[in-house]
Structure 1
Amino acid sequence: MSKKTILTCAVTGNLTMPSQNPALPITPEQIATAAIDAGKAGAAIAHIHVRDPETARGSMDLARYTEVVSRIRDAGSDIIINLTTGEGGRFMPGLEEPREAGPGTTLTTPERRVAHVEALRPEICTLDFNTMFSGTGVVINTPRNLGIMAERIRAAGVLPEIEIFDSGDLQLAKVFLAEGKLASPALFQIVLGVRYGAVANPETLMYLKSQLPPDAMWAAFGIGRMAFPMLAQAYLLGGHVRIGMEDTVYIDKGELTRGNVQLVEKAVGIITSLGGTLATPAEARAILGLR
């Protein structure tokens, strides 16, 4: 475990709601502040979604992304910005006619899903390879649409973080690598504990790690009660790690977290207690080969 460990803070996501924890960042100012403060607490990367402040639901509004990114940069924070492209992939089958989109559908074009990445050019953005049942809807990421998104992300000079929710997602990503649609070495994020996706346990993580390309850079995280156990497991297997209010709203069993900073501080404590050293943003840029 001699190499530095990169800690990502996923500050808000798009599914966690304020009813679960009132400390959840919702407005662009709150999200930017959460990212900046996470960096001060030890995170090298901030993974960012934006929200509609009126409904608290996930948003694709470029103006909100622009405000968040500008606030982080104007504050002088050197934290690495990682924007999601996960919004716009959800289909809710209509109850009367399943072929028709029902309320809550966000499914849109691949070009629309990466428009904010092309406009703002963060250092990293996510690229979700999952097609799966999620909640009461279906997340759809077709190979065609992923190919378009990957091409436009590369043209923008942004590093895609390949989100893997199960073994089939990894197989599709490896096809993309073989076909040159993704560059090597690729950065993978292994997502554990989403219902009907990869189970959050050591055996699943060890299997998925074993199937990664030999030169892959990777991280992993768990959600809910498995957030901290999977953080420790990812570190022990040589990966990078993630925590944040997108993944858990608790700091301990039955105890709501005060916010992202408290989660990051606990993550830093776990890694350092196991003998690890957290990478600074500058060190993370060198590890990931960022510009």
Structure 2
Amino acid sequence: MQSPMQSEVFITCAVTGSGDTASRHPGLPITPAQIADASIEAAKAGAAIAHIHVRDPETGAASRDPALYREVVERIRASDTDVIINLTAGMGGDVVFGPGENPLPLDPKGTDMVGPLERLVHVEELLPEICTLDCGTMNFSAGDYVMTNTPSHLRAMAKRVQELGVRPELEVFDFGHLVFVKDLIKEGLLDNPLMIQLCLGIPYGAPDDPMTTMALVNQLPEGAIFSGFSIGSRQLPFVAMAVLAGGNVRVGLEDNLYLQRGVKASNADLVTRAKTIIEAMNVRVMGPAEVREKLKLRKAA
């Protein structure tokens, strides 16, 4: 079978994430200024898209504070850096049960569960070109929590994102999530072109081996534009896998802290390395203007 790889691809940089990684990397972007600067540096290194979470500037913990998102976005826009802003809408769906035989009440320290429209408050205000939509519920090994996205919540979020004219990046962690994506298509809640992110190698979602990757690719809706990534030490090798599979690429400190064994990375380092891998495969890295046209993005606010 001929490889489905494309002649040109784009890079997304996930600059900070929401995981408990601040204590493990002194250079992890935490404050709005640091997150904005990291996004700008990633763009200058070759990333067309910056995928953005925010953190409490004092503690480094994940946050949903719209004011923090506002500061990050305003700083990036004021810099006149050409980069597509992709804001997460994944926060607000975390459930941690009580211990042992007493799952209720929920553990208040780890649980952050709000309504579907509250998860989009920052998206409504800032109108990025892209926001994420996690397309299912999944157990996470880290922290023993459940990423909770009910069908009704996701339908409400998809409808609102569609009304706002923001392109949803559909986060797919396992095969059933693609089944749900296809239901959203049938219901008219997603517009073309579809943008799908295959999030692989995350316990306990789909693994990142070639057979699983291609099985997911072969089940994508017709015409979907997809990216793929893995985590930790598999992030950079998976750059080649994603390109070979016909997809685009995501790297960044959200998913991996190291450039190589024992060497901490910056976001720009990871983008630069990904670009090197891609170009060594005789594939061209696309710029933001080209990606906007490819994804038919609405002009940012």
TM-score (norm 2): 0.94
- Give the aligned partner of residue 165 of structure 1: 173
1:251 aligns with one of 245, 249, 259? 259
1:101 & 1:34 partners in 2: Cα distance?
35
Deviation at 1:142, TM superposition (A): 0.3
What is the distance in 1 between the residues matched to 2:6 and 2:228? Answer: 18
CA distance in 2, matches of 1:60, 1:264: 26
Q: Does 1:99 align with 2:99?
A: no
Confirm whether residue 40 of structure 1 aligns to residue 40 of structure 2.
no
Matches within 5 A, 1:58-207: 58-95=62-99, 97-102=102-107, 103-134=109-140, 135=142, 136-207=144-215
Instruction: Identify which range, 234-243 or 97-106, moves more after superposition.
Output: 97-106
Ranges in structure 1 where 5+ consecutive residues have no aligned partner: none
Which residue, 227, 232, 237 being the options, matches 1:224? 232
Gaps of 5+ in 2: none
Secondary structure, in 3 states, of the residue corresponding to 2:199? strand
Contact preservation (8 Å) 2:136, 2:151: no
Check conservation: 2:54, 2:64, Cα contact below 8 A: yes
* Secondary structure in 2 matching 1:114: helix
Deviations 1:48-85 (A, max 9, x none): 00000122111100000000000000000110000000
1:55 maps to 2:59: yes
In structure 2, how many angstroms separate the alpha carbons of the residues matched to 1:185 and 1:260?
28
CA contact 2:193–2:296 (8 Å) conserved in 1: no
Distance in 2 between residues matched to 1:16 and 1:5, nearest whole Å: 30
Which secondary structure state, in structure 1, belongs to the residue aligned with residue 27 of structure 2?
A: coil
Q: Does 1:267 align with 2:271?
A: no
Amino-acid identity (%): 48
Q: Is the 8 A contact 1:186 1:217 kept in 2?
A: yes
Q: TM-score, normalised by structure 1?
A: 0.97
Q: Is the Cα contact below 8 Å between 1:16 and 1:245 reproduced in 2?
A: no
- Contact in 2 for aligned 1:243/1:267 (Cα 8 Å): yes
Distance 1:16 1:166 in 2: 23
1:99 deviates by 2.8
Inter-partner Cα distance in structure 1 for 2:20 and 2:8: 30
- Equivalent of 1:20 in 20, 24, 28: 24
Q: Is the 8 A contact 1:163 1:188 kept in 2?
A: yes
| 1:70 maps to amino acid | E
- Tell me, yes or no, if the aligned pair for 1:16 and 1:246 is still in contact at 8 Å: no
Q: Is the 8 A contact 1:221 1:243 kept in 2?
A: yes
Contact (CA 8 Å) 1:8, 1:43: kept in 2 or not?
Answer: yes
Q: Give the letter aligned to residue 264 of structure 1.
A: V
